[in-house]
Amino acid sequence: MSSVMRCGHRRTRGLPALLVGSLTLAFALSGGPATAAQQSTLHELAEAQGKYFGSATDNSELSDAAYTATLGSEFGQITPGNSMKWDTTEPVQGQFNFTKGDVITAFAAQHDQTVRGHTLVWHSQLPNWVGALPSAQVEAAMTRHITEEATHYRGAVTAWDVVNEPFNEDGTFRTSPFYTAMGTDYIATALRAAHAADPDAKLYLNDYNIEGLGAKSDAMYALVSELLDEGVPLDGVGMQAHLAVQYGFPYQMQANMKRFADLGLDVAVTELDVRMQLPSDTTKSATQSAYYRQVVEACLAVERCVGITVWDYTDKYSWVPSTFPGQGAANLYDENLLPKPAHAAVRTALGGDDGGQGGEPGALKAQYRNSDASVGDNQIKPGLQLVNTGGAARGLTDVKVRYWFTAGNGASSYSSWCDWSPIGCSTVTHRVVAMDTPKAGADHYLEVGFTGGSLAPGASTGEIQLRLNKTDWSAFDESDDYSRSTGTSYADAPKIAVYAGDELVWGIEP
């Protein structure tokens, strides 16, 4: 029997490695003394990949000095959350007020940031007078509004969400005063008006739940294809990416981005956050980190994905709790403006280092929960997750996890499955192996591996739901299986082994 419960020791001048990383990050964000270990910002990391990394903001937040210190240093692009919407800029017909938006663009200019204008035409946050207009007057009012605002911000705004959220969930067009008055033509009319007012700005259509393949993204794809065929000025599609850990990750997000890019359009992730049911816990946090990482990886893999904007960067100013009661913790920084594991996951995905620590890869441990109360049915269903307990990021391509069990009677061949994982089952490998020398409670093991990815310090893979059966579907007797336990919540699992290369780094072999 051999046992290892963690990786080898790391020396960091007498301080724990995780603490040193936190101190380094604190200096980087607060503008403290520069050191050789000072981290690149998220935008600098993205810029090195040919992308931008930005954040939404709002006027009321700009009086918070600690908040603006990070907003102005960590991000290279900002989007005004509300100050360029119609109810703010033209509350009374023909009377325009750009004061709040001007504050945002001035902040951006001071911090060498680009600005994404949001939004010229939207069914929501309209002043009452727009909905009260006779249909025959809507087009003129819309065109004038677009012309006035886009002209005012010409040169200060590099891209516009010209039309926001034109679709219902099933891919039909959303009802609005503009659709009611002009049908689908309002979209082309809006784009032409925006281009006439600012020929240099990139023009986008923007919507939520179009990140993955599905009816709504299909509708957007059909719309932009038609607009391009008609010669309507359109430069890109914005995917809002308001995600939630309780729902699956968008189906084939990268492939969806690529099909829009293949039309000659840019793609931008415009409003990224990943909410959860409160309270937060390590499993939800791990899923959140995985979702953020997957969005970054999808964007990096598509050349015409130009960048990512989070909506906002901190839980302190998140829109989620007021919109989705009981949910929150959606952002990269917590309410105290401290970076969360999701922030580290994004840094790692962007190619960032471990905060200047260097040293060996992070330590790993396995956690397990019992997903099947029956000990005598024809399937074994372990729930597994890996946690990086070290102070450095850890790649997963050379990592293997083994769960031992006994086969009993019946077929000697097996099928294994990954039913769900926040990191994507396509990145999880699995096979059943017969042991050369059976041990008590163990004559086979389920071996799990990974085709790619990495874990930031403190991050987890989140739950990997696994299942195996004999090819003849005969029953198991799991009552004495070495790795099985009865706990239904995730806990450290010393009888499940983790290997890095050929080295046992966690657990006790049978």
Give the span between the Cα atoms of 483 and 497, in whole angstroms: 9
Residues 6 or more apart whose CB falls under 8 angstroms from that of 310 comprise: 54, 55, 56, 271, 272, 273, 331, 332
Q: Which of 78, 75, 95 is nearest to 86 (CA)?
A: 95
Are the C-beta atoms of residues 451 and 426 closer than 8 Å to each other?
yes
Give the span between the Cα atoms of 502 and 500, in whole angstroms: 6
Strand-pairing partners, residue 203, are 160
Q: Burial letters for 147-180: b for 16+ Cβ neighbours within 10 Å, e otherwise?
A: bbbbebbeebbbbbbbbbbbbeeebeeeebbbbe
Identify the active-site residue in 165, 211, 463, 478. Answer: 165
Give 268's DSSP letter.
Answer: E
What HEC string does 404-449 produce? Answer: EECCCCCCCCEEEEEEECCCCHHHEEEEEEEEEEEECCEEEEEEEE
Parallel, antiparallel, or unpaired: how do β-strands 77-80 and 114-122 relate? Answer: parallel
Instruction: Give the number of other Cβ atoms within 10 Å of residue 456's Cβ.
Output: 26
Residue type, 220: M
Are the C-beta atoms of residues 312 and 275 closer than 8 Å to each other?
no
Alpha-carbon torsion 126, 132, 137, 139, what sign? Answer: positive
Identify the active-site residue in 139, 149, 211, 271. Answer: 271
CA diameter of the chain: 84
Examine the residue annotation and report whether 271 is marked as an active-site residue of this protein. Answer: yes
* Element containing residue 99 per DSSP (H, E): helix 99-110
Examine the residue annotation and report whether 303 is marked as an active-site residue of this protein. Answer: no
Query: Strand runs (DSSP E) across 13-61, as ranges?
Result: 52-57
Are the C-beta atoms of residues 497 and 507 closer than 8 Å to each other?
yes
Alpha-carbon torsion 389, 390, 396, 397, what sign? Answer: negative
Rg over alpha carbons for the chain, rounded to the nearest Å, is 26
Indicate which residues carry an active-site annotation: 165, 271
